[in-house]
Structure 1
Amino acid sequence: MKVARKVAIVTGGGNGIGGAIAERLAEQGARVLVADLDPKAATAVADRINERHSGSALAEGADIADSEQIRRVIERAETELGPVDLYFANAGIGGAPGLDADDASWDRAFDVNVRAHIRAAQQLVPGWVERGEGYFVTTASAAGLLTQIGSATYSVTKHAAVAFAEWLSVTYGDRGVRVSCLCPMGVETKLMRSGEGSGDPLGVAATRAVISAGDVLQPAEVADIVLDAVDREKFLILPHESVLTMYRQKSSDYDRWLRGMRRYQSSLLEHA
């Protein structure tokens, strides 16, 4: 899909990958609503966009895990920018290391990392099918294809995010709805660094695992890759090519891969 003159919503757009995607969209001629739980962060990104591309961006503070707030974001975009063509379900959260996460933490992880995608799709996809065109972009993680050393809530919900994106593509891909799923490894964001200050060896190991597994990319680099994939309507977006190699190794011999991951985890914990 060519994004010029299209209308996009980017959640978690106040910083990191989401902020970079919002800026790239505007550079390519799209109009974008930047949604973030932190309204000041969303406004800062929108203001930066509008300084270079006047009238191209709006900011909205919202909890995009909440159906009514998703509805409010979509309605504002449609009222002030036009019908929504692209939705970047980018907002995400990590979680407690090990089995320390309580029920509330599990619920919040599923709400933000999975149900937020489902709730947005429920509101947008019927209209896209009727129009014959729409694009849903999921930010998952390499953890959704492989796993994550550290947080169970993150690993499990990112697997679920990948699964929902696959289902969405299979079910609506022949009805005009395009779907992409972003699965990066290390990207220089607050989320990637969160384990370092957790005080838990597994949390420290989680960050070290991501940093040591491959290059740590800047959000702007990932945004360029994402927009190129959208232009080519490519489903699986892998900014780190090594993820595909690891995914193939995992699928070819699951037990060997699990043994290797346990050894890798042990080596990280020795230095945590």
Structure 2
Amino acid sequence: MNVARRVAVVTGGGAGIGSALAARLAREGARVVVADLDADSARAVSERVNAEHPGSTVSAGGDVSDTERIQQLVDLAESSFGPVDLYFANAGIAGALGLDASEQDWDRSTEVNLRAHIRAARLLVPRWLERGEGYFVSTASAAGLLTQIGSATYAVTKHAAVAFAEWLSVTYGDRGVRVSCLCPMGVNAKLLSLGEDSEDALGRAATRAVTSAGDVLEPAEVADAVLAAIEDELFLILPHEDVLEMYRHKGSDYDRWLRGMRRYQSSLLAQA
């Protein structure tokens, strides 16, 4: 899909990958709703992008895991620019550590990292089927293909996000609905460094598991990879090429991979 003159909604757009996506989309001629839980951050991104590409974005604050709020974003896009062509389910949270994660921790991670995607698709896919086209972009993580040392809530919900994106593609891919799933490793954003200041060794290990596994990319580099994948309508977006080889190793001998991950975890905990 060529994004020029298309209408997009980007959640988690107030920082990191989301803000880079908004800027890249606008540069390519798209019109963008920048949405974030932090309304001020979303507004700042929108104003910055509009300074370079006048009239290309509007912003909105709110919880994008809430169905009513998602509907409001769709309505804002339609009233500002026209029907939504692309939806970037990019908002995400790191989640809690280990089995100490509470029921509330699990609920919140599931709401943001998974159910937000499901709710957006339920609103948009019927419209896209009527129009004959639409594009859903899910931000998951390499943790959704591999795992995340330290955080079960993150690993599990990101696996689920990948699975839901797969299901969307299988179910609607021959009816005009395109789907891509973004699975990066380390990206230079706030989410990456949360564990470094943790008093929990598992938290520090969680961050180092990502930063030591491969290059830490800038959000703009990830946005470039996403736009290139959309142009070619590719499902799996891997800004870190090493992830594919890791994924192959996992699938070729699961028990060997698990043993290796346990050794890797032990080495990280020894450093923490």
TM-score normalised by L of structure 2? 0.99
Give yes or no for the alignment of 1:46 onto 2:36. Answer: no
Letter in 2 for 1:101: A
Deviation, structure 1 residue 175: 0.4
1:75-98 deviation per Cα after TM superposition (whole angstroms, max 9, x unaligned): 111111100000000000011111
Q: Distance in 1 between matches of 2:198 and 2:81?
A: 41
Q: State whether residues 62 and 73 of structure 1, in contact with CA within 8 Å, keep that contact through their aligned partners in structure 2.
A: no
Letter in 2 for 1:20: A
In terms of mean alpha carbon deviation, does 177-186 or 194-203 score higher? 194-203
Instruction: Name the counterpart of 2:21.
Output: 21
Instruction: Name the counterpart of 1:223.
Output: 223
Instruction: Name the counterpart of 2:9.
Output: 9
Q: State whether residues 4 and 29 of structure 1, in contact with CA within 8 Å, keep that contact through their aligned partners in structure 2.
A: yes
Q: Distance in 2 between matches of 1:203 and 1:130?
A: 46
- RMSD of equivalent CA atoms: 0.5
Letter in 1 for 2:249: Q
Instruction: Name the counterpart of 2:127.
Output: 127
1:109-151 deviation per Cα after TM superposition (whole angstroms, max 9, x unaligned): 0000000000000000000000001000000000000001011
Instruction: Name the counterpart of 2:261.
Output: 261
Letter in 2 for 1:229: A
**Structure 2 SS opposite 1:9:** strand
Instruction: Name the counterpart of 1:188.
Output: 188
Q: Distance in 1 between matches of 2:269 and 2:58?
A: 44
- The count of corresponding residues between Structure 1 and Structure 2 is 272
Instruction: Name the counterpart of 1:72.
Output: 72
Letter in 2 for 1:188: N
Instruction: Name the counterpart of 2:116.
Output: 116
1:33-61 deviation per Cα after TM superposition (whole angstroms, max 9, x unaligned): 00000000000110011101111000000
Deviation, structure 1 residue 196: 1.1
Q: State whether residues 17 and 219 of structure 1, in contact with CA within 8 Å, keep that contact through their aligned partners in structure 2.
A: yes
Give yes or no for the alignment of 1:107 onto 2:107. Answer: yes
Deviation, structure 1 residue 156: 0.2
How do 1:119-268 and structure 2 match up within 5 A?
119-268=119-268
Q: Distance in 2 between matches of 1:79 and 1:96?
A: 38
Q: Distance in 2 between matches of 1:254 and 1:200?
A: 28
Runs of 4+ with >3 A deviation: none
TM-score normalised by L of structure 1? 0.99
Among all aligned residue pairs of Structure 1 and Structure 2, give the percentage whose two residues are the same amino acid: 72
Deviation, structure 1 residue 2: 0.1
